[in-house]
Structure 1
Amino acid sequence: MDPAAPDPRRLLLRTAELAADHLAAGIDAPVSQPALIADLVAALGGPLPETGQDPLAVVEALAREAAPGLVRTNAGRYFGFVEGGVLPASLAADWLASTYDQNAGFQVLSPTAAALESICAGWLLELLGLPGDASVGFTTGAQMANVAGLAVGRGEVLHRVGWDVDADGLHGAPPVTVVVGEERHATIGRALRFLGLGERRVVVVPADEQGRMRAEHLRSAIGDGPAIVCAQAGNVNTGAFDPLRAVCEVAHDAGAWVHVDGAFGMWAAASPAHRHLVDGIDLADSCATDGHKWLNVPYDSGFVVCADPQAHRRALRLSASYLARTDGGRDGTDWTPESSRRARAFAIWTALRSLGRDGVGAMVARCCDHSRRFVDLLLEDPAVTVLNDVVLNQALVRVGDDDAWTLAVAAEVQREGVIWLGTTVRRGVASLRISVSDHATTEDDIEVAAAAVRRAIAATG
């Protein structure tokens, strides 16, 4: 068979069948298995084939041999990193996006992708309580959204003092003070390295016991020159929120740009019961969040939002004469660090339309309720201590009085494979980190998960 000319319908229908079989296995299959990378390489690797092979046989081999190394993050029983599941409707839309093979970088390459981005931008701003005239860029995730937002902030604070960083770079530029919270996420530091602002040059504001920035220390940290303040909506360990309104008011009074890293926490705005946590987010100059976390769309998906569209486009636009727009339309590449990219808005549009405002809010609230219930069940064991205020979907649980037992429990849970959760070290203390971010998680899943942890405590105690 000529591998360049397969029967596409037969190939795609069989692939859909394989995908459906994987999803149907659901909770009956282990969340993870003790697969060795070397075994996977041996099964999937070998010399590059000299001749092509039947595409259907290749796809079936991929599904078969890859299975031992897959982690089921979208079946309701994964509680490790902040990983959203995948809404079935968004999965289907993502398949269509790959089928259509649309380049969302430029309107001329896909008017549909450009229209969907424009629609989703408006829906997201409304859902997240952000100004309706803000600009939105669609990125791979919060890492690149943080890069984009901080790039806009860097350009704008220097622009205000007469320096054009886009034309003249940073050599000889006025120094920019970057202020961060003590418990900011690692992606902030990496973004600052990318932008030449230097991770070791930041001014650190202390955090309280839950990891929230102490706003009373902010004004002295900012100083008097160009400055960017990086706040956080949703501490990756505790789920806590910096006091966003106070941060924005103090920073703006000092002339600083405020960027909010809200990778998952910004979605609290969608839930009426949790919206108070992001009070003041509408005052921020830029924000970053993920779609592949709490919106439960497939990887990869993120958003950068800027209150000043002119500054946003000035910092990120792509300048090329043959690409210049003359009709006022939207080119997606002008709002992100990427040029050619996949049409992520297909999955986002489908998620938002199929769920609606109430559905997104209910999904967020349900995950938070599950997290609280998980903790309550674990506290029935006297060996368990909860180390944070469970205000969102994150919980830190310690077993016993030292790190060893906690780490042993995590290892036993992972070995058993019924659920998956990991560990973290915060302020020198190890704990189990529980994150509930999947639309598919049910009350029964929480009961099963708590029982798995209790079994692990008994087995390792």
Structure 2
Amino acid sequence: FTTGATMANFTGLAAARWRLLADAGWNLDRYGLAGAPRIRCFVGQERHDTIDMGLRYLGLGSPTLVPTDDQGRLLADPLDTMLSEGPGPAIVCLQAGNLHSGAFDPFENAIRIARRHGAWVHVDGAFGLWAAAVPELAGLTAGMAQADSWGTDAHKTLNVPYDCGIAIVRDTGALRGAMGLATTSYMVHDAEGPGDPFQKVPELSRRGRGITVWAALRSLGREGVAAQVRGLAGAAARISRRLAEVEGIEVLNDVDYTQVSLAFGDDAITRAVAARLIEDGKVWMSGSHWQGRDVLRVSVSNWSTDADDVDTAVEAVSSAFAAVKSAGN
């Protein structure tokens, strides 16, 4: 358990760095990065910026950007070509849930290609990893379990408080190699069991983050988690369908998960609608920029969102748009 998805991704990438250099015959713990084989990092053009930040923290430099489609999904064929262009260890970062479209990368094809090139695969699933709990959304996450590490943030979709990120790493040796302490004689060690929590994350001093996550999972159960995620995706779909029926409002993405990106003609009108909504205060939807356009970004993430909230959201957006158009006339 980490402080959030940023540190969850950092933890997975740190394990990747440790393993790849160890397999290349380089002792990272002893010699550091100076003189080490260069690790090539590949990310989709529409990855979240915290992936770049984690790579920077780890001294791995700027990643190579892989082209994406119109929904922000990484394209597998260019990834294959780019991995073929140079030797050396590599990390491929995939995404479960694009920030603007909610789209999921093509895990099966991308991971198969990465495996052929000997690359470590990390999945940034800050909010999208939870789609795996819903049977009817299985197509979104198909192949995702074949990766080497995953990061997510329980506060985004499970709705526990902040400071509850989760890092999952298949290679426990790499995880402990990257994060663990060799000697702390004054601490009580768990030599036989799964290991001490501080051996798997960046911090020693840490709160009991797993307690709130356990409580949520224990109270909801498997079906409850699925129902919660299903409800968020369903609310996003209803909001998008109803707003698409309003003349002048354009839904820019395929609404497969919990994200909706809206435009209202030109960028100036879209920015004005976003400002009007925030001033009105009935709903919170942030302005953003995607695919070369300013957008109003709707992210359905609260477990309590119901039909009345959908009605409120649709009415608030429609009214804000009408007010902006009226002011323009």
Larger-gyration structure (1/2): 1
Residue 146 (structure 1) aligned with residue 12 (structure 2)? no
Q: Which letter does structure 1 place at the counterpart of 2:81?
A: S
Give the 4+ runs in structure 1 shifted more than 4 A.
none
Gaps of 5+ in 2: none
Cα displacement (A) at 1:324: 6.4
Which aligned pairs between 1:70-81 and structure 2 lie closer than 5 A?
A: none
- Of structures 1 and 2, the one scoring higher in RCO (CA 8 A, sep 6+) is 1
Which aligned pairs between 1:40-189 and structure 2 lie closer than 5 A?
A: 138-189=1-52
* Partner of residue 110 from structure 2, selected from 244, 247, 252: 247
Match of 1:204 in 2: 65
Q: Which letter does structure 2 place at the counterpart of 1:360?
A: V
Number of residues of Structure 1 aligned to a counterpart in Structure 2: 321
Q: Which letter does structure 1 place at the counterpart of 2:169?
A: C
Alpha carbons 1:224, 1:254 under 8 Å: kept: no
SS of 2:156's partner is coil
Cα displacement (A) at 1:374: 0.6
Match of 1:10 in 2: none
Cα displacement (A) at 1:444: 0.6
Gaps of 5+ in 1: 1-137
Match of 1:434 in 2: 298
Q: Which letter does structure 2 place at the counterpart of 1:347?
A: T
Describe the shift of the 1:312–1:327 C-alpha distance in structure 2 as closer, same or farther (beyond 3 A): closer
Q: Which letter does structure 2 place at the counterpart of 1:325?
A: H
Normalised by the length of structure 2, the TM-score is 0.95
Cα displacement (A) at 1:420: 1.0
Q: Which letter does structure 2 place at the counterpart of 1:209?
A: D
Match of 1:394 in 2: 259
Single out whichever of 414-423 and 314-323 deviates more from structure 2: 314-323
Cα displacement (A) at 1:340: 1.0
SS of 2:92's partner is strand
In structure 1, how many angstroms separate the alpha carbons of the residues matched to 2:192 and 2:142?
Answer: 34
Cα displacement (A) at 1:319: 2.6
Q: Which letter does structure 1 place at the counterpart of 2:116?
A: D
In structure 1, how many angstroms separate the alpha carbons of the residues matched to 2:190 and 2:281?
Answer: 56
What do residues 31-67 of structure 1 show as CA deviations (whole Å, max 9, x unaligned)?
Answer: xxxxxxxxxxxxxxxxxxxxxxxxxxxxxxxxxxxxx
Give me the CA root mean square deviation: 1.1
Match of 2:233 in 1: 368
Single out whichever of 319-328 and 438-447 deviates more from structure 2: 319-328
Describe the shift of the 1:238–1:197 C-alpha distance in structure 2 as closer, same or farther (beyond 3 A): same
In structure 2, how many angstroms separate the alpha carbons of the residues matched to 1:220 and 1:176?
Answer: 17
Percent identical pairs in the alignment equals 47
Cα displacement (A) at 1:220: 2.4
In structure 2, how many angstroms separate the alpha carbons of the residues matched to 1:154 and 1:324?
Answer: 28
Alpha carbons 2:134, 2:229 under 8 Å: kept: yes
Normalised by the length of structure 1, the TM-score is 0.68
SS of 1:247's partner is helix
Residue 420 (structure 1) aligned with residue 284 (structure 2)? yes
In structure 2, how many angstroms separate the alpha carbons of the residues matched to 1:298 and 1:180?
Answer: 29
Alpha carbons 1:407, 1:430 under 8 Å: kept: yes
SS of 2:235's partner is helix
Cα displacement (A) at 1:380: 2.3
Cα displacement (A) at 1:283: 0.7
Match of 2:324 in 1: 460
In structure 2, how many angstroms separate the alpha carbons of the residues matched to 1:214 and 1:418?
Answer: 38
SS of 1:228's partner is strand
What do residues 319-356 of structure 1 show as CA deviations (whole Å, max 9, x unaligned)?
Answer: 33313626424210111111110101111111001000
In structure 1, how many angstroms separate the alpha carbons of the residues matched to 2:147 and 2:154?
Answer: 19
Residue 342 (structure 1) aligned with residue 203 (structure 2)? no
In structure 2, how many angstroms separate the alpha carbons of the residues matched to 1:451 and 1:324?
Answer: 57
* Partner of residue 94 from structure 2, selected from 221, 228, 231: 231
